[in-house]
Amino acid sequence: VFCYTDAGYLTDADDLKSQTGYVFVLNCGAVDWKNAKQSIFGTSSAEAEYIAEFDASKEAMWVRKFIFELGVVPTIEEPKSMYCDNTGAIAIASESGITKGARHFYAKVHYLREVIEYGYLKL
């Protein structure tokens, strides 16, 4: 299972919120996807992408267990690959401490860091 994430920065002209999008692909077919306005305001494109990665990481944990329970894959030991096109967002997610640029985020979005540290996901 692969996951591709993306975000549109400041896509809503009324409230200046960004857009989250992700798709999970298994055997060349989409098995889960989402496109929605972000509930948290990001102050940069890297933050918007990081929030999109966070949303996708929550869904990835569910997809991972669901696919395993179906018996489609023999094991869930390897981390699932998640692809993001923003190096700033990847850097924020990969840092173990609170970086200057990410210190104002809500604590809940740092869930992404935990699933990377535990080896469930890799960027």
User: Vertex 116, ends 67 and 7: CA angle to 5°?
Assistant: 80
Considering the entire predicted model, what is its pTM?
0.76
pLDDT at 28 over 60: yes
- Count the domains in the chain: 1
Per-residue model confidence (pLDDT) at position 46: 87
35-64: pLDDT as tens digits: 999 987 778 888 899 889 989 989 998 988
d(CA 112, CA 5): 13
**Cα dihedral angle (20, 26, 30, 35), rounded to 10 degrees?**
-10
CATH number for 94: 3.30.420.10
Domain holding 6, by residue range, is 2-122
